[in-house]
Structure formats: C-alpha cells, structure tokens
A and B are shown apart, each in its own frame.
Chain A
C-alpha cells in the first residue's frame, strides 16, 4: 500500500529533475541555505519549519509602505464635524417685490386673519458693517447682536402669551449692508429663526446677478 503510493511520487520527482536539468541553475528540493546549514539539530528543525523557506517574496516592505499610506490618508482626511446648516428658501426671482424667503418647515398662512394684524409688509432688519441691527418700520430700534434674539422673541405673538406685535409667519427681510461680514448676516438670520419666526430671508435686489463691487 505504502509502496504503491510512493511509486508515482518517485516518478514525479524524476520528471521534475528532468525539467530542472533543462533549466540552467535550477535545483529541485530544498534550497541550500547559507548560515543555517551547519547548526545544531534543533536549529535546523526550526529553520525547516520557519517562514524563511516558504515565503519567497518578502512582504515586509510592502506592508510597511501600505501602513504608511494608510496612516497618511487617515491623518490628512478632513472631516466636517461641527458643520450645521440653516435651511432657507429663496424665491425664484426677485420680481416679487419684497422677496422674503421662507424658512424651512413653514406652514401656509392661516386664512382667518386678525383684523388688527399689520399690513402685509415686512419687518426689515438692516445689518451694518459692525454687526448692529436696525429694525425697520413697526419696531424702530437699533440692537446689538447680543440682544437681538431676545428683542425679536419679545415681539413675537404666540398663542397663550400676552403682548407681541408679529405673527410667527410675519415676513422678516434681512438687508445686510454690502460691507457687512457674512457672519453678522448669518447671526441675524439665526436670531430671527431661533426667536420663532418662520418666514425669514435675505433681501434680494432685482437685477443683482453680478457682484456688487467691481
């Protein structure tokens, strides 16, 4: 049984030898190893089992490079962890006169109107370059950026609360000066939305599709 199993193997080895003879410099079997050839019996046994003989391609530099690349890309990838968005609808065209944009999630105006409600005009908040906000017609106040939210919240009319001039759906038009920094403009929008107004937007000038300054 064992003899029968060995016979084809011997044939295969002979065939390999014949192939090896055709290739110059090739040997069949274990490659003679330098350095380890004359060790103790235990060290030779270890060398026979170890990685060195079986792994022809040295993987170490490749893995090194792969990990270097990995660390590089992990370290240089930028995330945007603190980014938030304020959604705002912009009217299609500046044609409708005070084109107030509607804040997201606003409900359509309720049909029964308060007879004492103000006209359909809007509250204009002009933002100056230094961040102060002057509120227009019905309110007529100049506010610092810090007090803006509280002042707007005091003017909003909510069910079950006394006082307040404006419905939450009253349009608020923010008109920043050309030189006003973007942060001041956004802070005003943010304050109005946080106070509870649902119909807040930036003023649009008709025909303003080119930059204001040359």
Chain B
C-alpha cells in the first residue's frame, strides 16, 4: 500500500505564530502615525513661559482649540497658527482667525481656546490672539458673556 504523499508531512504549521505580533505592530504604527499628526498640528515648537506658584492646572479633557503664536526673531510673531492653518499677523489675518474661531464656537459652544506663545514673544503680539478669541465669541453670537481662554504655561515638573 502506498502511503499518501501529501499527508506524510502532516499539516503545515508555523513554529511561532507571527500573526498577532504583526497585527499588534501594525496597530501601534497606525496609532503613532495618527497621534503624531494630531500632535504636530497642535504643537508648534516654542519655549512656553515658566511658572512657579502653581496657579496653573493640568489641562482636563474638555474640547479645545489651540492657537499658537509662532515666534519670530526679536520677540515678534511670524504668524498665528490654528491647527494646520496659519494666519498672518495683520488685521486681515486676525479677522480670519476670529471668523474661524467663531465657526468653531458655533459648532461646539463649550469649546475652550488654548493660547500658546513663546516666553520671549512681546505682549503686543500675544494680545491680538486673545482679542481674536473675544472677537470670535462676539461674532459667533452664542449666548455666553465671556470667552474662556486658557494660557498654556510650563508647569512645575515635580507635581507629577
């Protein structure tokens, strides 16, 4: 009797099953790609102001918009940046920024605006960003008397 030539070897097996490993690796890659895209849109490389006294709190999980004041040389601002869009630091750019913020506030009335600016940027370049938030609130027409702005600072690292 001839033995079966196909089944003599037994079923084909992997010694180590690679599939879950590859699945996990791909999931992690997708996660980090997405995270780095989101983070890259929100965070402009700048040196945040340091604070010592601890009036600053950890950010919570509320919906937020991040407005970055992109630093230029000599304490100036090169642009205001919201997400991936940049707004010129002139009257037209700020009107556009306020309009964008107004749209966002209309879509999501509880949204809060984080303002990130470099510690060396002159106040005259940061104030327009905060004014744009107030103008955006006025433009949005939602029923809130005050706009919530959160100033992003570099907190004391020791408090965890």
Contact = CB atoms under 8 A, between A and B. Distances in A.
Interface string B46-67: 0011111111111100000000
Nearest to A189: B151
B57 A77 contact: no
B128 A77 contact: no
A55 to B, nearest CB: 7
A113 interface: no
Interface residues of A, number: 72
A178 B75 CA distance: 10
Contacts of B35: 77
Contacts, number: 228
Interface in A163-178: 176-178
Nearest to B3: A6
A187 interface: yes
A54 interface: yes
B145 A210 contact: no
A135 interface: no
Contact of B49 (A3, A186, A211): A186
A79 B38 CA distance: 11
B149 A88 contact: yes
B51 A48 contact: no
B124 A213 contact: yes
B53 A182 contact: no
Nearest to B118: A182
A84 interface: yes
B131 interface: yes
Contacts of A102: 146
B134 A204 contact: yes
Given A85-B153, A87-B150, A181 B25 contact: no
Given A92-B138, A182-B121, A87 B51 contact: no
B49 A92 contact: no
A209 to B, nearest CB: 5
Interface string A1-14: 00100100110010
Nearest to B13: A54
A54 B12 contact: yes
Contact of A70 (B2, B29, B48, B153): B29
A55 B75 CA distance: 62
9 contacts: A28-B5, A62-B22, A82-B157, A83-B48, A90-B134, A92-B144, A186-B49, A212-B124, A212-B127
Interface of A: 3, 6, 9-10, 13, 16, 28-30, 48, 50-51, 53-55, 59, 62-63, 66-67, 69-70, 73-74, 76-94, 101-102, 104, 127, 149, 176-183, 185-187, 189-191, 193-194, 202, 204, 208-213
Interface of B: 1-2, 4-7, 9, 12-15, 18, 21-22, 25-26, 28-29, 32-33, 35-36, 39-40, 43, 48-59, 69, 75-77, 89-91, 94-95, 98, 112, 114, 117-128, 130-135, 137-138, 144-155, 157
Given A54-B14, A66-B25, A70-B25, 7 more contacts: A9-B7, A30-B9, A59-B22, A177-B123, A181-B75, A182-B126, A190-B153
